[in-house]
A = this chain, B = another copy of it.
Amino acid sequence: MFRAAVIGATGYAGADLVRILAGHPDVELSMITSRQYGGQPFSKVYPSMAGMVDMECAVYDAKEVCDAADIIFTALPHKVSMSIIPELIDNGKRVIDLSADFRFNDADLYESCYQPHMAKDLLEKSVYGLSEIYTEQIKNAQLIGNPGCYPTSVLLPLIPLLKEGLVDIKSIIADSKSGVSGAGRSTSLATHFCEVNESFKAYKVADHRHNPEMNMVLSREAGKDITITFVPHLVPMIRGMLTTSYSTLEKPVDEVSVRNILKKFYKGRYFVRICDEGTMPDTRNVRGANFCDIGVKIDETNNRMILVSAIDNVVKGAAGQSVQNMNIMLGLDEKAGLNNVPYPV
């Protein structure tokens, strides 16, 4: 049994990590910490887990965490992560960070959309944890920058088709829609039930910090500079994210071929499911699961490819993918702890 710690266990991503790790067959959840709920039992914060996860939330202490765990998940706000991770790395621990702090290899890019970076020397070391794309690098990584939820949903369908040279790289538009849990557990008017329910809106239009993250990875994979147009929207539901992307085709191709390219690329990768002809993803189908469902439509009249992808923003978009990365890092079955059968409704 490996021992895992979750730092920041009471936010939504952290709590879902606790859920997954508590049921993981090969890992023992050995420590959890919380700034806000230090000293309280986890099941007092999340009574759903009473009788299952009653361990106490510790106050963070680097030494204690290093003593208690082999692998450490940091589910903290940006900036807080990079303030504690160097010490963990120095102690030889493997770290999977769910914030944006170690997603960028280029400190300037990070600083242009976040803040001054406090651990630049680690950026080179860190691996971008998009599990299906960077599997080999993840295996040996000591530090993972776990991808943002939006980038995960945008990148997985696009990368194989970009690599195939099918996509006009100047034409890419991603129109994403996220459930409210993506905004986290902090309270704000923006997440007040009465302001969100029976409401749909765009926000941070072409101005979201996940946009540079997508550009970076797409450019790396295509070997050319790519900047896409990205618009996120807020859906009145708890979990789920759907991205509809539009791009002009570089050469004529039919839907069957596109589907085949995707199927071939993701062959053997359990968590990516390509929808059959005539069916399209629905966030309902990935709710609570680590899947990314992908659908394809060619708009022939306009020579345009439409890709639709659905993930659970808290699972494949955060906690689930981070456990998938841990599984890869530890040489476990990629699915371990992640193969709960999804709910029909």
Residues on A lying within 8 angstroms of B by beta carbon are 12, 15-16, 18-20, 22-23, 46-53, 170, 173, 175, 177, 179-181, 185, 187-189, 191-203, 205-207, 227-229, 231, 233, 235-240, 242, 244, 246, 270, 273, 275, 279-289, 291, 293, 295, 297, 299, 301-302, 304, 306, 308, 310, 314, 339-345
Contacts and interface: CB of A to CB of B under 8 A. Distances in A.
Given A198-B237, A237-B197, A237-B199, A345 B308 contact: no
Contacts of A200: 177, 179, 235, 237, 240, 242, 282-284, 310
Contacts of A185: 189, 192, 194
Contact of A192 (B173, B191, B202): B191
A230 to B, nearest CB: 9
A238 B198 contact: yes
A247 to B, nearest CB: 10
Contacts of A203: 280
B194 A343 contact: no
Give the number of copies in the complex. 4
Contact of A242 (B12, B187, B193, B201): B201
A188 B187 contact: yes
Given A12-B194, A193-B197, A229-B304, 20 more contacts: A19-B342, A19-B344, A23-B341, A51-B273, A52-B341, A170-B302, A175-B246, A177-B200, A177-B233, A179-B200, A185-B189, A187-B187, A187-B188, A193-B238, A195-B345, A200-B283, A200-B284, A200-B310, A233-B242, A239-B345
Contacts of A284: 48, 195, 198-201
Nearest to A342: B48
A299 to B, nearest CB: 4
B343 A288 contact: yes
A194 B240 CA distance: 12
Given A50-B273, A188-B187, A244-B175, A283 B345 contact: no
Contacts of A187: 187-189, 191-192
B242 A16 contact: no
Contacts of A181: 194, 345
